[in-house]
Amino acid sequence: MCRDKNFLLEVPYGMRDFLPRDAAIKRNVETVLAELFAKWGYNEVITPAVEYLDTLAAGSKNNMEKHMFKFFDKNNRTLALRNEMTTSIARLVSSRMRLDNLPLKLSYICKVYRYEQAQTGRQCEFYQAGVELMGNSDPSGDAEVIALAIKSMLQTGLRKFQVCIGQVQFINGLMQKWNLTDNEQKNIRIALEKHDLVKLAEIVETSNLSSTAQENLKQLPLLHGGEEILTKASAMANNDESIKAINDLRTVYTFLKSYGVTDYVVFDLGVIRDFGYYTGTVFEIYVPGMGSPLCGGGRYDNLLENFGKHLPATGFALGLERLMLALADQGKIDNLINSKENYVAYADGHIAEAIEKALWLRAAGEITELADKAQSFTEAEYYCQTKGYLNLVYLQ
Amino acid sequence: MSAENMEYLTVALPKGKVFNKAAALFEKIGYTANGLSDKSRKLIITNEEKKIRFIITKTADVPVYVEYGAADIGVIGKDVLLESAKDVYELLDLKIAKCHLMMAVPQKFKRPQLSDYANTRVATKFPHIAAAFFNSKGMQMEYIKLHGSIELGPIVGLSESIVDIVETGTTLRENELEEYAFIADATARLIANRASFKIKFARISKLTEDLRKIVNKK
């Protein structure tokens, strides 16, 4: 068989290797996050990378199916690689954990897969860290999840970022009140999701809405700012659903004050995550200079119903590679690189002492590499330097 | 990505016929820079006082710069935007560079109805738009992607029809082609990166409102 060597050295589209430096940074970021999640009482779960397509599709956002990696099992049932973790956790909670005490606080750090155009910090295979809080329908749950997302950023060292909090029900409430036809509502939602303000204006202007309602609807994506935005939105809120949405945001904000994280928070009623999936408070985290959000999440009270267990829920997922890029950009990567401490080398006949010394240093918690053969002092010095170790320990 | 990113607003403008009109609009609201021209050899033109950077790129690249956040905002024809299907925010119809997307066929070989062209070849710079249009008509077509002088396609027997943008229709007439089906109107749009729009909200929304006033006055 003729094999093209170059072909053998390729990896499939959208897959990447992590070389030692990046792998170490990634591991350290993961460790920081895993410890933080655990401290907040979130228990890690691990689910298989492969699920039945039916399962993933039942919990998935609009149009995600075409972005899944699919294949068949031996009975020709369609399998897929998970495209996010929330659905797998919903399946888990609705089956294996259905009798557990509520609320459930679960976390994960793992690979997910999406077959789509590779973007900044996102290949087809990428890492997500996140939490799910299931069985809590109160704004206290929304606030906890948002606060934990912010703490995740801070704990890894990130300082410049902004959290935008929105509310899906506010818009749904407004639209119900204005008696828009289903078709109009659908088109408005699509325009809002895509943030196509030109299309939005076009739909609104050709509708039968009053001029105030038209103006309000066009202003929606521009409701962005501090607490004062809630007052503005309150003035627009005109039925129970939209008033409740704003009141919930106020409550969330009060709690976020207690968490001490409001410096990073703005309200943005134009933050629209998938309408078909999210049902309440939603949020996204942005960093300067990165074109896509680093982290996103929100309330999805209807998802678990698809798996036969009605439970209100909220959560977030953050992209690890994007977080790593942002940390590098903000000069916060140094703390996440292990400093290589000792290189232990030895002259001929001194290997036993060298092994003993290396074990001792490692037990003391220092990163220590042992030379793999006897070296002269000059050789040892050269190795120590080129491999980037701080100290040379030479036994002779 | 860099920290200075936060200070500057980066605007991507396309070379070519949209450039002058877009630059003129920005100038009216006080956004301009010394030596701002698409003939400039400098690729980035900065106005230090106003903290604005203009980058001048090939038309089809504008949505790419904006989607990745290398530019915060940009100006681009709706035709290019539709074709690129990029995830960017569309903020304002600038109502310049008005044209429309259409299907044209050689006058001599015009067929009675659209469905008579089913399973024929279409030459186009916009294969996605063309496919969306023909799919909506239930037609399967063969698409031939070209990068310019689309009108040549039917003349040399490369295709039975073309999908392209027209402004006045002069080029079509000169090449004995005739507009056969309208697809969509296209004008230049102001687009923004989704993260920039959030992080630099105050500047971008002020700029959008200022532009809106100028555009609506015309």
User: Which ipTM score applies to this complex?
Assistant: 0.83
Residues B171 and B209 in one domain: no
Residues B44 and B93 in one domain: yes
- Residue B120: CB atoms within 10 Å: 15
Q: E-assigned strands of A229-269?
A: 265-268
Query: Residue B2: is its pLDDT beyond 70?
Result: no
Contacts of A43 (CB under 8 A, 6+ apart): A105, A106, A107
DSSP A246: H
- CA dist., res. A148 & res. A150, Å (int): 5
Which is it for strands A162-167 and A265-268: parallel, antiparallel or unpaired? parallel
Minimal Cβ distance to B194: which of A195, A198, A330: A195
- CA dist., res. B190 & res. B25, Å (int): 11
Query: Residue B151: is its pLDDT beyond 50?
Result: yes
Residues B39 and B70 in one domain: yes
Average pLDDT on A170-191 reads: 86
Q: What is the mean pLDDT of chain B?
A: 91
- How many domains would you assign to chain B? 2
Residue B78: the pLDDT is 94
- CA dist., res. B94 & res. B103, Å (int): 25
Residue B4: the pLDDT is 53
Contacts of A119 in chain B (CB under 8 A): 68
Q: Are B12 and B38 in contact (CB under 8 A)?
A: no
Using the beta-carbon criterion (under 8 Å), do A198 and B201 form an inter-chain contact?
A: no
- Structure token digits, residue A243: 């008033």
Query: Residue B95: is its pLDDT beyond 80?
Result: yes
Q: How many CB pairs under 8 A join A and B?
A: 76
Residues B207 and B160 in one domain: no
- Residue B191: CB atoms within 10 Å: 28
Structural domain of B109: 99-184
> For position B142, which CATH number holds?
3.40.190.10
Q: Which of A34-38, A58-62, B28-32, B141-145 shows the lowest mean pLDDT across its residues?
A: A58-62
Contacts of A326 in chain B (CB under 8 A): 1
Query: Residue A219: is its pLDDT beyond 80?
Result: yes
CA-based nearest residue to A82, from A118, A128, A121: A128
- Residue A357: CB atoms within 10 Å: 18
Minimal Cβ distance to B91: which of A164, A197, A293: A197
pLDDT band at A22 (very low <50, low <70, confident <90, very high): very high
Query: Residue A61: is its pLDDT beyond 90?
Result: no
Hey, which residues 51-80 in chain B have their CB within 8 Å of chain A?
66-70
Query: Residue B5: is its pLDDT beyond 70?
Result: no
Which is it for strands A78-81 and A50-52: parallel, antiparallel or unpaired? antiparallel
Question: pLDDT tens across A90-114, in order?
Answer: 999 999 999 999 999 999 999 999 9
pTM: 0.90
d(CA A322, nearest CA chain B) in Å: 12
What domains are defined for chain A?
8-158+287-338 (3.30.930.10), 162-265 (no CATH), 340-395 (3.40.50.12590)
Percent of residues, chain B, with pLDDT higher than 70: 97
Residues B51 and B92 in one domain: yes
CA-based nearest residue to B113, from B181, B23, B183: B181
Residues B175 and B194 in one domain: no
pLDDT band at A2 (very low <50, low <70, confident <90, very high): low
Query: Residue A214: is its pLDDT beyond 60?
Result: yes
Residue B1: the pLDDT is 42
